[in-house]
Structure 1
Amino acid sequence: MDTEVLVVGAGPTGMTLANELLTAGVSTVLVDRLARRSELSKAGGVQSRTLEVLDQRGLLEPLLATGDHPVTTGHFAGVPLPHSSDRHRLPWRSVPQVVIEGFFEEHLGARGLHVRRDHELVGLAQDGTGVTATFAGGTSLRARYLVAADGAHSTVRSLLGAAFPGEPGTLTIIAADVRLDGADPSASHTWNEDGYWAALFPLGTDAEGRPLRRLVLGGPGQSLPRETPVTEDDIRTGLNTVFGTKVHLLELRYARRITNASRQAERYRHGRVFLAGDAAHVHLPLGAQGMNTGMQDAFNLGWKLAAAVRGWAPANLLDTYHAERHPAGAAVLRNVRAQSLLMDWAGTRDPEVLAAREIFTSLAQLPDVQNHLGDLMSGMAIRYPMRDPAPGGTSHPLLGLPVPDLDLGGVRVHELLRAGRGVLLDPADAYGEVAAAWSDRVVLAGRGAAIEPLLIRPDGYVCWAPPAPLEPALHHWFGEPL
């Protein structure tokens, strides 16, 4: 083997996965077909759950130190979802994708992993022991596992012949990184009476400290072939149509046309090859859910691949990647479809759609509805289907959910997860003898703290709680003991 894991694609998903594997001590090669890192800010926001996991790996503070990344308000179908300070520990942040990629590439490089660029994949073969990837020019790499993080038009997925069902794109809209004059800083989505609309989101500031915005423009007659270049005149015309003479374009950084295609791979695992990020699911870019869902794919898969490489992965652990992340991806596709309908993405001004949006907007003012939608959009609503061997089948309310950041008396849970191992909270020292055999994989903590016992996976999800017996859960998630 040239490496244990080969990751194809050095976007946020691929770099997150590479970092997870490095944290677990797994040899990793990260390749990308581009000769240099893209400067396109394809996404602009980091959700609460992604921020939590970055914090669990000690990456959040250094990421936020890269520039001005303000707290931002989420939305559902253009209806703002105010941040509630007591609901999620870490509110959404405006961090452009280009910043995330630059941060990860520097971080990985400092740890000795440098992206191998200008590597265009042209061939793929796997057998019972590994995967062989062939690149343009005739070079090849052999790995025990391969992960496709190579985007919506994934070469890996094509070479596998993997089914990618869904709906093709039926229209396009414009997305651009711009500097504007006259735009209301608090504005997000604006419609005019003819169905033309604009969405504005903060992207921090440029090198001179000037505010940058992500601008999205759509409406009737705006849909052109995806390959059609976007000009400054297109941007100015769109701004004038929606805002009149109030908002002016100062600088166009980049622009592209995006489609409303909605597809999801039937299977995320194909033997020793795994699909993650946009290679596994594509949809309209609403709420930066594509980037965040891809990074969450990586957090879920990384520790499981590490367990397989190290030889202690229990039976079917790698299969839980599809079992857990496919439903999560499907849920994102559903909420995006609902949002695109309520937003009247195509600018039809259909009276039935407008009536539904009016009622939805009223409902979205209710705190319970805001909380539900906020959890949905922030990634906090995901509950993995955990095996619960408790007597009577009663599930603990935290089972399958992210662990709260509990205070253990001088240390918090997220700090204990930085080594990429599992954590057993045992305040009464009742389970130490049972857990001792898994001490190379599970950290024992919380003695004397005012908490309840919990077993936490390396990705921060609760996978056991009393009154269920602990030992079956340790076997199920952490394999055979020492």
Structure 2
Amino acid sequence: MDTNVLIVGAGPTGMVLANELRVAGVSTTVVDKLSRRSELSKAGGMQSRTQESLDQRGLLEPLLASAHHELSTAHFAGVPLPLARDRHRLPWRSMPQVSIEAFLEEHLAAQGIQIRRDHELSNVVQDENGVTAIFSDGAEIRSRYLVAADGAHSTVRKLVRAEFPGRRGTATAIAADVRLRGDDKAKMHTWGEDGRRVQLFPLGTDAHGRPLRRLVLGGLGSTTPRDVPVTADEIRDGLRAVFGARVELVELCYARRITNAARLVAQYRHGRVFLAGDAAHVHLPIGAQGMNTGIGDALNLGWKLGAAVRGWAPEGLLDTYHAERHPVAAAVLRNVQAQSLLMDWEGTRDPDVLAAKDLFTAMAQLGEVQHFLDDMLSGMGIRYPMPGSADQPLVGLPAPDVDLGAVRSHELLRSGRGVLLDPGNRFGKLAAAWSDRIDRAGQDADVQPMLIRPDGYVCWAGGPDDGADELELALGRWFGEEGPSLHD
């Protein structure tokens, strides 16, 4: 093998996965067909759960120190959710994807992982032992597993003939990074009298410290093909139709056309090939949910591939990647399609749609509704289907961050190992058999006993009784057979 895991695609999904494999002690190679990192902002925000996951690996603090970011208020279909802003330890932040990619690439390079660019994939050949990736220049890379993180038009997905059901885009809109004059009083979502719509979001500042905005210009049911270049005059015309002379375009940094296509692969696993990020799911870009969902894919898959390579993965562990992540992406597609309808993304100005939006806006003022939507949009409401979840509310959810005295529980996950919180020191003898895969902590803390997977999700929680039998089952289910692992 040239490498244990080959990752095709060096976006946030691919690079986060590479870091997860590095933490797991598994060799990995990342290739990308581009000759240099993209300078397009693309996605523009980080969910609370994404930030928690980066914090668990010690990456959040240096990322925030290296890139401009702003605290933001989440929205659903353009309706702000201010009552949800301070519910989680790490609130929603506005930060362009280009800044996240730059940070991750520099971090990987510092750890000895260089992105191999100008590698355009032409074929993938699997056998029972591994995968051979063949590139357009004739070069080959042999790996035990291959992960497709190569975007919405994934070459890998096509080569493995993965079913990609869904719908084609029915309309296009313009997404642009701009500098504007007079936008300080412009609403986040504004309609013009002719049916055109403008959405404005903060993107931090440019290299000169000047504020940048993400602008989405849509409505009127535009069917302009995606490959038709966007012009500054086209954007000026749209701004004028919506704002009159109040808002002017100062600089157009970049622009592209987006669609409301919605597709989700039928299977995330194809033998030794796994699909992640936009290679597995595409939808209208609302709230950076595509990028955050892709990072979630990487975090879920990384430790499981690491376990498989190192020889301690229990039977079926790799299959839980599809079982856990496919429903998450399906839920994201549903909420994005609902937002698209309520926003009248195609610009129909249908009275029935407008009436539904008015009713939804009124309902969204209720705290319980805002909290429900926030759980969905922040990633904090994701609950994986796991044995024991019917009896323990924590099982399947992101682990709470608890104070253990000298350390907080999320910091223990930086090793990439599992964590057993064991107040009262009840499970020391049992846990010792898995001591090469889990760390035990919290013996003197007033916390609930729980077993936390390397990706930060609770896979067992104890009650007032001993619970040793259930804990032993959970250890075997998620961390393999007791005793030393193979450490290939």
TM range, normalised to the smaller chain? Answer: over 0.9
Letter in 1 for 2:79: V
User: How many angstroms does 1:222 deviate by?
Assistant: 3.2
Structure 1 segment 41-56 matched on structure 2, within 5 A:
41-56=41-56
- Alignment pair present for 1:204 and 2:200: no
The answer to whether the 8 A contact 1:179-1:252 is kept is yes
1:426 corresponds to which residue? 422
Deviation at 1:187, TM superposition (A): 2.9
2:350 match: 350
- Aligned residue runs from structure 1 range 67-466, under 5 A: 67-82=67-82, 84=84, 86-184=86-184, 187-388=187-388, 394-466=390-462
SS across alignment from 1:451: coil
Q: Secondary structure at the match of 1:103?
A: helix
Moved over 3 A (4+): 83-86
Q: Cα offset for 1:68?
A: 2.2
Report the Cα offset of residue 410 of structure 1: 2.1
Report the residue type matching 1:433 in the other structure: K
1: CA distance, partners of 2:277 / 2:416: 21
Q: Aligned in 2, Cα 1:86/1:244: closer, same or farther, shift over 3 Å?
A: closer
Q: Provide Cα deviations, 1:353-375, integer angstroms capped at 9, x if missing partner.
A: 00000000000000000001011
- Per-residue CA distance 1:418-441 (angstroms, 9 max, x = gap): 111100000110011100010111
Which deviations, in whole Å up to 9, do the C-alpha atoms of 1:86-124 show, x marking residues without a partner? 411100111111001100000000000000000000010
> Shift of the alpha carbon at 1:85?
5.4
**1:5 paired to 2:12:** no
Amino acid at match of 1:463: C
Closer, same or farther in 2 for the Cα pair 1:244/1:450, shift >3 Å?
same
**One-letter code of the match for 1:147?**
V
Is the CA contact (8 Å cut-off) linking 2:232 and 2:252 kept in structure 1?
yes
- Write the distance in 1 (CA, Å) between the matches of 2:185 and 2:60: 25
SS in 1 for 2:70: coil
Which residue number in structure 2 is paired with residue 35 of structure 1? 35
Q: Distance in 1 between matches of 2:154 and 2:396?
A: 30
Contact 2:404 2:442 in 1 (8 A): yes
Instruction: Please give the alpha-carbon distance, in whole angstroms, between the structure 2 residues aligned to 1:64 and 1:86.
Output: 18
% identical equivalent positions: 69
Mapped pair 1:470 → 2:466? no
Amino acid in structure 1 at the alignment position of 2:139 = T
Measured after TM superposition, the shift of residue 188 of structure 1 is: 1.4
Equivalents in 2 of 1:117, 1:53: separation in Å? Answer: 27
Deviations 1:305-331 (A, max 9, x none): 000000000000000000000000000
Q: Which 5+ residue runs of structure 1 have no aligned equivalent?
A: none
Q: Secondary structure at the match of 2:66?
A: coil
* CA–CA distance in structure 1, aligned partners of residues 221 and 441 of structure 2: 60
Show the counterpart of 2:486. Answer: none
Preserved CA contact (<8 Å) 1:194 1:349: no
Name the aligned partner's letter for residue 363 of structure 2: L
Question: For 2:265 and 2:7, how far apart are their aligned partners in 1?
Answer: 18
Displacement, 1:193? 3.5
How many Å separate the matches in 2 of 1:452 and 1:213? 45
TM-score norm. by structure 1 comes to 0.98
One-letter identity of the residue aligned with 1:357 = K
* SS of residue in 1 equivalent to 2:71: coil
What is the rounded CA distance, in whole Å, between the counterparts of 1:443 and 1:221 in structure 2?
Answer: 55
| C-alpha displacement of 1:447 | 1.1
- Relative to structure 1, the CA distance from residue 76 to residue 429 in structure 2 (aligned partners, 3 Å threshold; closer, same or farther) is same
Q: 1:221 to 1:455 in 2, by over 3 A?
A: closer
CA RMSD in angstroms, aligned pairs only: 1.1
Whole-Å Cα distance in 2 between the matches of residues 231 and 195 of structure 1? 20
One-letter amino acid of the counterpart of residue 368, structure 2 = D
Aligned residue pairs total 478
Q: TM-score, normalised by structure 2?
A: 0.97
Aligned mates of 2:128, 2:276 — CA distance in 1: 22
How far apart, CA to CA, are the structure 1 residues paired with 2:363 and 2:374? Answer: 13
Give the secondary structure class of the aligned counterpart of 2:295: helix
- Which range is displaced more, 180-189 or 4-13? 180-189
Shift of 1:186: 7.1
Structure 1 letter corresponding to 2:197: W
CA distance, structure 1, for counterparts of residue 72 and residue 97 of structure 2: 15
Contact 2:171 2:221 in 1 (8 A): no
5+ residue gaps, structure 2, are 484-488
The amino acid that maps onto 1:173 is A
Q: What is the one-letter code of the residue matched to 1:264?
A: L
